[in-house]
Amino acid sequence: MKTRYLLLLTFLFTFSGYSQTGFLNFLTYINSISDPVRKVEVADSFVNANRTTGIPIKEGNMAVFLYNSPANYMQIAGDFTNWSASVTMNKISNTNLFYYFRTFEMNARVDYKLVVNGSNWILDPLNPRQCPGGFGPNSELAMPAFVQPWEITRRPGLPAGQLLAFSISSTNTNSSFNYYVYLPHGYDSNSTKRYPVVYIQDGSDYLSLAQAATILDNAIDSGKIESVIGIFVRPNNRNTEYAGNLRVQYAAFFALELVPFIDATYKTIPDKNKRLVLGDSFGGNISAIISWNYPQIFANCGLHSGAFWPNDYEIYRTIVAGPKKDIKYYAIWGTYESLYPNMRNFRDSLILQGLSNLYKGISGRT
């Protein structure tokens, strides 16, 4: 037992070095071991040694994902696989250690999950870093050069806007919608000051998952943007309202019912150039529909990884092939998303039309 203990300490010391000299060197070494007991000890020691520096292991632009528990087979799914469990992890024989490695941009940040035996999707038990997602938390890989956005963190003493919850009925959709109103710090209904308005799809998700209120507080306080009113609308059924058979009626509700009500209730600037409608994925699709159908209401459209594929790319084709309208498009997307080529083509088409655009593609999910 004493010999086994000393041997284990030797392994721990040795493979702390392997975490620095290269995972591929470790693979070469462990695969040369014929004794199955020793091989398991080496695998366990390697994993434990790397817990202190962080798993997934990051070596330059390479990331190494590990799983060290009993399983028949393991897969990995994430932003970089379009959330398809299409990547099978390799297993080191006679151990429980599975691995997968690939390169990323040095400033990449991606979400992922591990898939056990083809059906059990789990958070990475070796990675304490997690981030919220639309279907629950995900494990997070942040490469060495990734910088956490400053605007999502609420610092002490940051002046906070007021967030109010309401509902509104629509005759166009024959339904009611819950929505939140963000009033910037210092908003005074008795003042003569008026404000631009940002209208946001998937409103509750932007507030809870994307820290949208904190972002507005930080951006306003730092002078990055002027003070704005934010309207965060929660859909009842985003598939039908944003991309399905209620998309036209929902657009009419947004432009012809919601906007006039907000203008009548709050101290807004009732000008198309002072309104922005934006959304993520299908929310980007409906935002593009709203601004295209009602350019006299919205002259600014924000696309967060806009998913244009519904209805055979209906709004994408309409904008690209249609007449030039007085709309500015602001777009951002991730380089690992399946829609990356589509968003690039959309951007390039608008540039060829001479439309005014601000666009950016970034590494990782947006």
Write down the pLDDT at residue 324.
87
pLDDT at 352: 82
pLDDT at position 365 is: 43
Could you tell me the CA-to-CA distances from 280 to 65, 192, 227, 233, 299 in Å, in that order? Answer: 29, 33, 22, 13, 18
| Residues of the chain above pLDDT 70, percent | 91
Higher pLDDT, 3 or 332: 332
Residue 56 in this model has a pLDDT that exceeds 60: yes
pLDDT of residue 302 exceeding 80, the answer is yes
Return the pLDDT at 166.
98
Contact at 8 Å (CB) between 235 and 201?
Answer: yes
In the numeric block, which tokens belong to residue 98? 């599975």
> 2-148 has which fold?
Immunoglobulin-like (2.60.40)
- Which pLDDT score, from 0 to 100, does residue 146 have? 95
Q: Which pLDDT value is given to residue 96?
A: 97
Residue with more model confidence, 340 or 188: 188
- The predicted structure's pLDDT at residue 11: 43
Predicted local confidence at residue 133, as pLDDT: 86
Please state, rounded to an integer, the average pLDDT across all residues of the chain.
90
Q: Which tokens sit at 188? A: 């005074």
Q: What pLDDT, on the 0 to 100 scale, is given for residue 145?
A: 95
Higher pLDDT, 10 or 71: 71
Q: Of the candidates 97, 50, 102, 55, which has an alpha carbon nearest to the alpha carbon of residue 79?
A: 102
Helix/strand/coil for 195: strand
Number of H helices, E strands in the chain: 11, 18
Please state the pTM of the whole predicted model. Answer: 0.85
Residue range 28-57: average pLDDT? 95
Question: CA 120, CA 196: separation in Å to the nearest integer?
Answer: 46
Q: Compute the average pLDDT of residues 133-159.
A: 93
- Estimate the crossing angle of helix 340-353 against helix 310-321, to 10 degrees: 20
Q: Which of 62-66, 96-100, 257-261, 348-352 shows the lowest per-residue confidence on average (mean pLDDT)?
A: 348-352
Evaluate whether 203 touches 234 at the Cβ level (below 8 Å). yes
Mean pLDDT across 300-309: 93
Sorting pLDDT into bands at 50, 70 and 90, what band is 338?
confident
Chain-centroid distance of CA 150 in Å reads 16
How far is 287 from 306, CA to CA, in rounded Å?
A: 9
Residues in the chain: 366
Q: Residue 122 contacts by C-beta under 8 Å, 6 or more apart in sequence? A: 113, 114, 115, 116
What span, in angstroms and rounded, lies between the C-alpha atoms of 302 and 322? 19
pLDDT for position 130: 95
Where are the domains positioned within the chain?
2-148, 151-362
Residue 17 has pLDDT above 50, yes or no: no
User: Is residue 217's pLDDT more than 90?
Assistant: yes
Looking at residue 355, what is its pLDDT? 66
Domain 151-362 has CATH 3.40.50.1820: yes
